[in-house]
Structure 1
Amino acid sequence: MQFPDDDNGKMLAAMAESGIDLSKALDVDFFLVFEDQRDAESAAEELAQSELEGEMELHLNDELGKWELIVCINMVPEYDAIVSQELELNTFAAEFGGATDGWGVMQHQEGDDEFADDEHQCSDNCQH
């Protein structure tokens, strides 16, 4: 699989090399950063009112010293779709004095058995 030679392409190539199936929908986290807490909260409120399908989490990123709004969108991680979503979120964040700061996926996704507890004995009450 070939990807463009930019940050998004390199991220997708690394994901493919690690065995992640890029043809299936994954929870993709987009990171929006803001200097001011009120700006970040306003952006989160506005995004919650929008038609965006996804989950959000707002917190102070101590490492960056900035407010970080994580927008999790379930999507097939295709290059053009990632770039388009990132540009749309960057334009949105800029309205509140923020900007996007990359994206990523958690290694453990739905149906991923890599982190299963080998000692676990299933019972009638198991939910997995």
Structure 2
Amino acid sequence: MQFPDDDNGKMLAAMAEAGIDLSKPLAVDFFLVFDDQRDAESALEEIVNSDLEADSELNMNDELAKWELIVGIEMVPEYELLVEQETILHEFAQEFGGQSDGWGVMQHQEGDDEFADEDTSQHQCDDQCQH
């Protein structure tokens, strides 16, 4: 599968290479950052009250020293759709003094068994391990 040679295309290529099925809907997180807490809270309130079907959360990103509004949207991660949604959210963030800071997906998606209830925290491998 070919992707454009930009950040979004590289991210999609890396996801495909990691074995993520890009033909199925995934929870895509779009990151919007704000310097001012009140601006970020106003943007969050606007998102929550909008018609956009999204899960949203607001955190202080200590690494960036900015308020980060995460807007999670269930969507098929197609290049054109991602670029369009990122542009819409960037323009939205600008109305509140913020900007877009990219997007991502959690590696664990529905159907993954990576987080099974198996507790291996007490096990330490040695030369006799057979797994």
Superposition TM-score, scaled by structure 2 size: 0.88
The structural deviation recorded for 1:33 is: 0.1
Residue 36 (structure 2) pairs with residue 36 (structure 1): yes
The structural deviation recorded for 1:113 is: 1.3
- 1:122 corresponding residue in structure 2: none
Identity %: 75
**What is the CA RMSD across the aligned residues, in angstroms?**
0.9
State the 4+ residue runs in structure 1 displaced beyond 4 angstroms. Answer: none
Query: How far apart in 1 are the matches of 2:62 and 2:47?
Result: 23
1:6-56 CA-partner distances (Å, limit 9, x unpaired) = 000000000000000000000000000000000000000111111000100
- 2:55 corresponding residue in structure 1: 55
Q: Gaps (5+ residues) in structure 2?
A: 120-131
Amino acid of the structure 1 residue aligned with 2:12: L
Query: How far apart in 2 are the matches of 1:98 and 1:80?
Result: 23
Q: Gaps (5+ residues) in structure 1?
A: 120-128
Amino acid of the structure 2 residue aligned with 1:87: T
The structural deviation recorded for 1:114 is: 2.5
Amino acid of the structure 2 residue aligned with 1:53: E
Greater radius of gyration (CA)? 2
- 2:128 corresponding residue in structure 1: none
Query: How far apart in 1 are the matches of 2:15 and 2:50?
Result: 30
The structural deviation recorded for 1:118 is: 3.9
The structural deviation recorded for 1:115 is: 2.7
> Would you say how many aligned residue pairs link Structure 1 and Structure 2?
119
